[in-house]
Every structure is written in structure tokens, then in C-alpha cells.
């Protein structure tokens, strides 16, 4: 059995106005896209619940929920590849978070700068 984060964090965590707007998946998570703030480079996709978003907003460091390890993790705590938060926005449907960061080192767990540069697909002719 896999556990998921509690979609209802303790009182005093995420601002209730933000929590009320979020549209979470059945697992209580929303996708969080990390983007380099000054170049627009898309770095990675992670997952956040209310607590991870609260920690991200209050610490200035990206905190994600690891679906495989079933725990919170702060980007860079073990690798040194830190994401310093510059801004956080919700998309128009409030079901995706965009975190603009200043990335130190690799964003991808493979050691690449971005998770989106190793497997570029070719467009098919229409």
C-alpha cells in the first residue's frame, strides 16, 4: 500500500486563500514546474501538496513531495544543486504551480542541467 500526503495540512500552514484555489489530483498533489527565472529554461517537474508549497513559499527553497520515497525533499539538500525561489505562480486553472528559481548546478537527478534536454522528440510531418 502506498501512502499519499495528507491533502489537509495542519492549521496555520498554507494560506487558506491559496489552499482553497488549488485543484489537486486524487493523491492531493499538484505538478510543480521549475523554471530558471532569468533565461526561461524549463528545468524539471516535481510534485507538491499544500505542505510542500507552504515550505517553498516560506523558506525560499523548493520543497517537493517524492512519490517514490513517500517523503518531502528540499532540492539541493543532498546534491548541493539548490533551487532558490524567485517567484511562485498558479496557472489559470490553479492545477499547476510554476516556480521560477535560480538553479545552482544540475536540476535533473541524472546530473543534467535540465530534465528536458536528453530525449528531444522529432516532429512528424503533417
Alpha helix stretches (DSSP H) within 48-120: 50-59
Residue 38 annotated as part of some ligand binding site: no
User: Three-class SS of residue 46?
Assistant: strand
State yes or no: 115 annotated in a binding site.
yes
Yes or no: say if 30 and 24 are a contact pair by the CB < 8 Å rule.
Answer: yes
Return the residue matching grid coordinates 500500500.
1
Per the annotation, does 62 bind a ligand? no
Q: Is 91 annotated as a binding residue?
A: yes
Task: Say if residue 95 carries a ligand binding annotation.
Answer: yes
Known binding residue 93? Answer is: yes
Query: What residue numbers does the annotated binding site for Zn(2+) cover?
Result: 92, 108, 115
Query: What residue numbers does the annotated binding site cover?
Result: 91-93, 95, 108, 115
Query: What residue numbers does the annotated binding site for Mg(2+) cover?
Result: 91, 93, 95
Amino acid at each position: 500500500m502506498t501512502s499519499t500526503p495528507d491533502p489537509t495540512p495542519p492549521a496555520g500552514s498554507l494560506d487558506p486563500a491559496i489552499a482553497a484555489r488549488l485543484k489537486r489530483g486524487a493523491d492531493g498533489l499538484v505538478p510543480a514546474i521549475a523554471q530558471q527565472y532569468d533565461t526561461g529554461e524549463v528545468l524539471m517537474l516535481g510534485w507538491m501538496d499544500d505542505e510542500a508549497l507552504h515550505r517553498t513559499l516560506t523558506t525560499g527553497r523548493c520543497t517537493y513531495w517524492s512519490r517514490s520515497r513517500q517523503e518531502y525533499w528540499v532540492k539541493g539538500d543532498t546534491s548541493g544543486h539548490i533551487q532558490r525561489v524567485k517567484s511562485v505562480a498558479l496557472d489559470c486553472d490553479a492545477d499547476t504551480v510554476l516556480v521560477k528559481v535560480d538553479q545552482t548546478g544540475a536540476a535533473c537527478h541524472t546530473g543534467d542541467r535540465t530534465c528536458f534536454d536528453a530525449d528531444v522528440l522529432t516532429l512528424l510531418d503533417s
